[in-house]
Amino acid sequence: MSAEVSDEALMEAYVAGDRSAFATLFSRYAPRLRRLMARDLARGTDADDLVQQTFLQLHRARRDFRAGARLRPWLFTIALNLKRQYFRRKGRRPEAPLPEPGAGDLVAEGGDPEANVRDAQLRAVLDELPAAQRDVIVLHWFEGMTFREIAEVVGATQAAVKVRAHRGYGRLREALKTQV
């Protein structure tokens, strides 16, 4: 299955019985979902487990997927719901992530040491944002979702999502200013 095939076409192929389509979806989204999970989890194994749970639930819900629907909001809704359930079950709040070199966190492009330090600091500020703001920024900036899609994923109104994005980006901007 080539990388150009859309997520939706892959999902439809999987529902029709093409098992390799699911593996392609996994390789496409597992790193992104792991990042989403790892930001709030101290243990990498918990993040990996939640990613696998997400794909297991995607598999179980595959016949709910309708032609014309977009897969990505679907997948991220499952992931965020499972993450929330994880914290409710554990009876605790999101944790500060432990540094895990090479564990799939965001990386900075280029070799400019000064820029790399700045980007690392920016990522650290992003990690420190409240989960509600950080999830919105990850979905908006890194996943390229519209506010409508994000509202659908997080189960909030578009206005609320925009407020979270505004506050989160605002804090990042302030952090950037203090670094400069």
- For another protein, the binding residues (CB under 8 A) are 19, 22-23, 26-28, 30-32, 35, 52-53, 55-64, 74, 77-78, 81-82, 84-85, 88-89, 104-110, 115, 118-119, 122-123, 140-142, 144-147, 152-155, 162, 165-166, 169-170, 172-173, 176-177, 180
**CA angle at residue 20 from 16 to 26, to 5 degrees?**
105
Minimum CB separation of residue 155 from another protein in Å reads 3
The rounded Cα 171 to chain-centroid distance in angstroms is: 19
The minimum distance between CB 95 and another protein, in angstroms, equals 19
Cβ proximity of 150 and 118 under 8 Å: no
Q: Minimum distance between the CB of residue 9 and another protein, rounded to whole angstroms?
A: 18
* Closer to another protein by Cβ: residue 98 or 115: 115
Between 95 and 121, whose beta carbon lies closer to another protein?
121
Q: Cα-flanking dihedrals φ and ψ of residue 5, to 5°?
A: -65, 135
The smaller minimum CB distance to another protein, of residues 19 and 93, is found at 19
Instruction: Give the distance from CA 48 to its chain's centroid.
Output: 13
Considering Cα of 135, then 137, then 140, then 144, what sign does the dihedral take?
Answer: negative
Closest CA to 35 of 19, 24, 25, 50: 50
Q: Which is nearer to another protein, 95 or 119 (CB)?
A: 119
Least Å distance, CB 54 to another protein, is 9
User: Is 97:106 a contact under the CB 8 Å cutoff?
Assistant: no
